[in-house]
A and B are shown apart, each in its own frame.
Chain A
């Protein structure tokens, strides 16, 4: 081997080793950062104890592997969004031990995943609040999305006193959580006009009950007197999005009545008659979008056209 070749080989090995070391250092840094966050929660939560109350037992930390021990079958829901961990504690009134408040802080790892669990647990009968990126009260319970975190504050009863204490706790907990401030893709892309408030949801997997639909946002829009459900999914590539459309057609052919296609201005809309309702889907680069379960075929097509036209640019 010539001297030049030997030199190239040595330099190549040095570069590879350097890159590997840098990766390990970064991973360790992230791990320590998460460990720091966990320790920080344990220390800080004691300071958040309401006046006249105390922490019942301990502050508990759960991983994806043992989250089931705390919330049983519900763990599957958070695991589907790749939960990193959960910090849990109970605050108990010193004067009345039957009064207590459970605090759960889910570290979902990313903004989208935190929004996903928050949006899917969001129900209609709520009172919107101003904590974090989004929050609401239901009875004396509080639900908050801030950054990569999802917080639940659940009281033992619905008294006015517990509502007040829960509200104070919600504010304090929100203050200790960080938020990168980055936007969430789906919330940025979905048109805002005529969108039903609070209707946006994010599904990391199994959106629309379909195993090939992941990384998908859904929302509802008003069109005249009707309300239409839309979906929007960002795929890894144009090829992947095309494959998703093919799978959707396969699903519609199997469970629906028929599938037809309509091309307008170079855009193909696939119209799926699901037997009583219609789904219309389209592809735009690496995005797959459409409308679902619309009772009227013409309305479904019109809504799909409008939706595609109004999609914001990434």
Chain B
């Protein structure tokens, strides 16, 4: 990040820390219908709609026991095409549904909304939004760029909640990030912390397709991220040399 010397002050660090603390305390005061339905085991694992036909694993740095299969709702629900598959997936014990903001997957969050309403306490919902910023993977962001990206991501997060017709989502990601300085941006992290303290979201994550190693290293370095989704399998139709992941 640029201007790091100027902003690397005790006051700013303390501010971020206080936000982080508020983000932990805030949700405890905000009791939503979703939290009332959460089932915890004695290890404080979050368990939802587990079925004998599915296996489950602890998801990242969350305590959620996620189905090994995750339903990718982005392209699948475009135009409402795969909506009937949601119930089929639910019947088999899939409890983790991943979608993206309307700017990336138009209409998919809205297509997911009725299913979410019917099964809210039984499923884990992740959405994500891109940072609306043009920057090369190795170029450090400026303060103005960080503020602008943070602002747009916050707006998209609210847009996702509106399209999903819910006041809470389990995790929200920075989508398709390739620049490590974005991962280290305190301005963007503060947006997440504010959203968390107001009960909008519980966990923070990222998705990456390019420059993935450096992005992940930056995420580890900050300690802020609970989840990371990286592209592994080259898509159908892709030709040429596989990208360096």
A280 to B11: give the CA distance in the assembly, Å. Answer: 66
A70 to chain B, nearest CB (A): 10
Decide yes or no whether B60 CB sits under 8 A from chain A: no
Decide yes or no whether B42 CB sits under 8 A from chain A: no
* Total number of residue pairs linking A and B with CB closer than 8 Å: 88
Binary interface encoding of chain A residues 58-84 relative to chain B, with 1 for a CB under 8 A from any of its CBs, else 0: 000000111111001111110110000
Among A66, A68, A98, A201, point to the contact of B144 (Cβ < 8 A). A98
B132 to chain A, nearest CB (A): 5
* Residue total for B at the interface (Cβ-Cβ under 8 A): 38
* Residue total for A at the interface (Cβ-Cβ under 8 A): 37
Binary interface encoding of chain A residues 4-33 relative to chain B, with 1 for a CB under 8 A from any of its CBs, else 0: 000000000000000000000000000000
Closest residue of chain B to A274, judged by CB? B84
A156 & B132 in contact (Cβ 8 Å cutoff): yes
B162 to chain A, nearest CB (A): 10
A65 & B240 in contact (Cβ 8 Å cutoff): yes
Closest residue of chain A to B176, judged by CB? A72
Among A76, A92, A207, point to the contact of B235 (Cβ < 8 A). A76
Closest residue of chain A to B145, judged by CB? A98
Known: A72-B176, A98-B148, A209-B84. A121 touches B79 (CB 8 A): yes
Q: Which residues of A contact B176 (CB under 8 A)?
A: 72
Residue positions of B touching A, CB distance < 8 A = 72, 74-75, 78-85, 88, 102-107, 110, 132-134, 144-145, 148, 152, 176, 209-210, 231, 234-240, 243
Selected A-B contacts with CB under 8 Å, 29 pairs: A65-B237, A65-B238, A65-B240, A66-B239, A67-B237, A68-B209, A68-B237, A72-B176, A72-B231, A74-B74, A74-B105, A76-B75, A77-B75, A77-B78, A79-B236, A79-B237, A100-B134, A119-B79, A120-B79, A120-B106, A123-B107, A123-B110, A154-B103, A156-B152, A157-B132, A201-B79, A206-B82, A208-B84, A209-B85
